[in-house]
Amino acid sequence: MKKLLKLLSPFAPDQSGAVGVLYELGGLVVICDAGGCAGNICGFDEPRWFFKKSAVFSAGLRDMDAILGRDDMLIAKTAKAVGQTDVKFTAVVGTPVPAVIATDYRALKRMAENKTHLPSVCIDCTGTRLYDDGEERAYLELFKTFASEKYETVKGKTGIIGCTPLATGYMTPGIFEKSFGENAVCFAMGSGLDEIQKASRCDKNIVISTGGIKAGEYLKQQFGIEYTTDFPVTPAMEKVLENDLSDKKILVVHQQFAANKMRELIKNKYECSVDVGTFFKLFGEFAGKGDFFIPDEQQLLEKVSAGGYDVVIIDNICHRALKDCECRLIDFPHFAVSGRLDENGGQVCLA
């Protein structure tokens, strides 16, 4: 049956992706839920929660709040929290509850701005979509709201879009400097709202995960900043390269741009053929001929079996689903899949 998971567990949802983008920007983030979603996001999908404080709160909705649509109460609670914390903007992130009751986010945004006198963003998440969808919406909303002004371009300044723990692992500025030069600024990780506001100073952008493409397009249209896609070389990738992959037919499964980079590195080192598969967004213009989208675990099995792959490079939580396939499985951690950043199962920095 489609959408029945017997061997895998659910991947990071859109609301986690949205919070991951907003996390370091100094806003007051309200997860519009009853408590469980915030618990999952903070306790599982956000590794920074344990070492970097952020004003991420649950709306603490109760059944009558949802049934009666008490948005005014939510805004009153938000305004009260604004008075108790030092924040630059407010953000409301959706979950299944507002999705079911069809919350009017535009109204919420206006109400929040009127009450708090701070800018507000609302990210329409539903909990049914995947993390890169939430990241995409959050990046776009942030740039649309805050990057309205054109600043003078700084030559050589490179904007990195798409770095979040879920998409790329937690990365320090060092890894970007190594891969993209000293003038690289990573939006929303290791930099604040100020860099988002001055995004037009970049003379190029590099999008490193699929959730950043729409924002890249927006900045291109708005300020004429060209973008390319890439991904920094991580220790996890270097570890994969230690395997002898000569003459193999290989499938790499990850978010598209990490998988593309992995393919590039493998092909630079070994004579082999490599396809990319992804559970997440697959953009045709960045895909190879044999690349494909994997909608569920059943399709993963079918695609791997039908593809005749010798090696599948995939987060090891998926190895269970592929145990009967006659191919070699190599671990390639993806936090959005397993909630694991390193090969030991610990939530540590990739960089």
Q: Would you count residue 229 as binding other proteins (CB under 8 A)? A: no
Q: How many CA atoms lie within 13 A of 26 on its CB side?
A: 12
Nearer to other proteins, 127 or 277 (CB): 127
What mask of x and - would describe binding to other proteins in positions 245 to 284, judged by CB under 8 A?
----------------------------------------
- Rounded CA-CA distance 106/123 in Å is 10
Q: Would you count residue 26 as binding other proteins (CB under 8 A)? A: no
The position carrying tokens 């604040």 is: 192
Q: Would you count residue 295 as binding other proteins (CB under 8 A)? A: no
Nearer to other proteins, 90 or 260 (CB): 90
Give the type of residue at 199.
A
Query: Considering the complex, what minimum distance in angstroms separates the CB of residue 285 from other proteins?
Result: 26
Q: Would you count residue 52 as binding other proteins (CB under 8 A)? A: no
Contact residue for other proteins among 16, 209, 255, 278 (CB under 8 A):
16
Residues facing residue 158 across a β-bridge: 184, 204
Nearer to other proteins, 128 or 148 (CB): 128
CA distances to 26, 155, 317 from 166, in Å: 19, 30, 15
Residue 274 tokens read as 């490599």
What mask of x and - would describe binding to other proteins in positions 73 to 92, judged by CB under 8 A?
----xx-xx--xxx------
Please check whether residue 218 is in contact with residue 140, taking contact to mean a CB–CB distance below 8 angstroms: yes
Residue 203: phi, psi to the nearest 5? -100, -5
Query: Considering the complex, what minimum distance in angstroms separates the CB of residue 183 from other proteins?
Result: 33
Q: Would you count residue 127 as binding other proteins (CB under 8 A)? A: yes
* 132 three-class SS: helix
Residues 188-227 binding other proteins (CB under 8 A) are none
* Residue 66 burial (C-beta neighbours within 10 Å; 0-12, 13-18, 19+): middle
Which residues, in sequence order, are CB contacts of 89 under 8 Å at separation 6+?
A: 25, 26, 27, 28, 118, 119, 120, 121, 145, 146, 193
* 301 three-class SS: helix
Contact residue for other proteins among 27, 96, 190, 212 (CB under 8 A):
96
Task: Provide the binding-site residues for other proteins, judged by CB under 8 A.
Answer: 1, 3-6, 9-16, 30, 33-40, 42-45, 49-50, 53, 55-63, 66-67, 77-78, 80-81, 84-86, 95-97, 99-101, 126-128, 130, 317, 320, 338-339, 345
